[in-house]
C-alpha cells in the first residue's frame, strides 16, 4: 500500500498541494506534523493555522504543535471523555476549556441536524472553528491524485512514488487551468489532456 503525507495550503478557496512525502513504517503522527511544518518553513510559507483530521488527535501531536508555537484546529475523536462532555450539552455551539496532558486547549462542539462535530483549537478564536470545513477540500485533492495515479503491480517504491509525483503535477496543472478559466470542469480538463496526448503521440 502506498502511504504518503501531503502538505496543502488553502488559497482563494483552492486546496493546493505543495509537499508530498512517502511515509515509512514507524513514523508517528507527531513526527509527520513536524516534518510538514518544516516543509512549510523551507518553502517560505507563513503558517497562520494548521488543520489536521481526527487521525492526528493525539496528546503527542497537540504538545508538539504547542512546542512549535503553531495555531491549530484538529478534528477531535469522540473519546469516552468527550462523549461524557457532550451528554451534558444542549444542542447548539459550545466552547469548553479542555486539558490535553497538561496543555490547555479549547474543545469546540457544535450540533448540526442532531450530530455533534468536535474540534480541538489552540491559539485562535474558537468561534472560527467553522473554518475547518475548508479542510475537506484536501480529501477531494487526494481523491484527484488517485484518479491520475497509474495502477501497477510493481514492488519498486521508486516507481510508485514517481507515479505519485506525476499525478500530483497533473492535479496542480488542473488547478492552474481551472483558476485561469482555460477549463471549466474536470471533464474539460480530461478533454484537453486527450487532445495534447493525441497531438504529440499520434502524429
pLDDT in tens, 107-119: 999 998 889 999 9
If you average pLDDT over residues 41-60, what whole number do you get?
92
CB 29 within 8 A of CB 55: yes
CB 10 within 8 A of CB 50: no
If you average pLDDT over residues 55-72, what whole number do you get?
95
Q: What pLDDT does 96 receive?
A: 95
Alpha-carbon dihedral sign for residues 139, 142, 146, 147? positive
Of the candidate ranges 31-35, 52-56, 188-192, the one whose mean pLDDT is the lowest: 188-192
Q: What pLDDT does 1 receive?
A: 47
Q: What pLDDT does 17 receive?
A: 80
Alpha-carbon dihedral sign for residues 90, 56, 106, 80? positive
Q: Return the residue matching grid coordinates 493525441.
A: 198
Q: Which one has a higher pLDDT value, 67 or 165?
A: 67
If you average pLDDT over residues 166-174, what whole number do you get?
79
Between helices 59-67 and 29-42, what is the axis angle to 10°?
30
- List C-alpha distances in Å: 133 to 51, 114, 122, 136, 165: 10, 18, 17, 6, 27
Burial of 35 from C-beta contacts in 10 A (0-12 / 13-18 / 19+): middle
CB 8 within 8 A of CB 133: no
Model confidence band, residue 172 (pLDDT cutoffs 50, 70, 90): confident
pLDDT in tens, 128-151: 887 787 666 555 555 555 555 556
Q: Which one has a higher pLDDT value, 44 or 196?
A: 44
If you average pLDDT over residues 158-165, what whole number do you get?
75
Q: What pLDDT does 68 receive?
A: 93
Provide the grid cell at 8: 496543502
Amino acid at each position: 500500500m502506498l502511504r504518503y503525507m501531503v502538505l496543502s495550503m488553502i488559497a482563494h478557496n483552492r486546496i493546493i498541494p505543495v509537499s508530498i512525502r512517502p511515509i515509512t513504517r514507524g513514523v508517528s503522527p507527531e513526527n509527520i506534523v513536524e516534518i510538514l511544518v518544516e516543509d512549510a518553513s523551507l518553502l517560505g510559507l507563513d503558517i497562520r493555522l494548521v488543520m489536521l483530521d481526527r487521525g492526528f488527535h493525539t496528546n503527542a501531536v497537540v504538545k508538539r504543535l504547542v512546542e512549535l508555537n503553531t495555531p491549530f484546529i484538529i478534528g477531535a475523536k469522540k473519546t469516552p471523555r468527550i462523549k461524557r462532555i457532550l451528554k451534558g450539552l444542549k444542542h447548539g455551539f459550545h466552547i469548553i476549556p479542555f486539558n490535553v496532558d497538561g496543555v490547555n486547549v479549547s474543545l469546540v462542539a457544535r450540533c448540526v441536524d442532531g450530530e455533534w462535530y468536535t474540534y480541538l483549537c489552540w491559539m485562535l478564536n474558537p468561534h472560527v472553528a467553522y473554518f475547518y470545513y475548508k479542510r475537506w477540500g484536501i480529501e477531494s485533492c487526494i481523491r484527484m491524485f488517485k484518479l491520475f495515479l497509474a495502477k501497477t503491480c510493481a514492488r519498486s517504491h521508486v516507481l510508485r512514488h514517481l507515479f505519485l509525483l506525476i499525478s500530483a503535477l497533473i492535479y496542480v496543472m488542473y488547478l492552474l487551468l481551472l483558476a485561469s478559466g482555460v477549463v471549466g470542469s474536470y471533464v474539460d480538463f480530461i478533454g484537453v489532456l486527450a487532445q495534447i496526448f493525441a497531438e504529440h503521440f499520434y502524429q
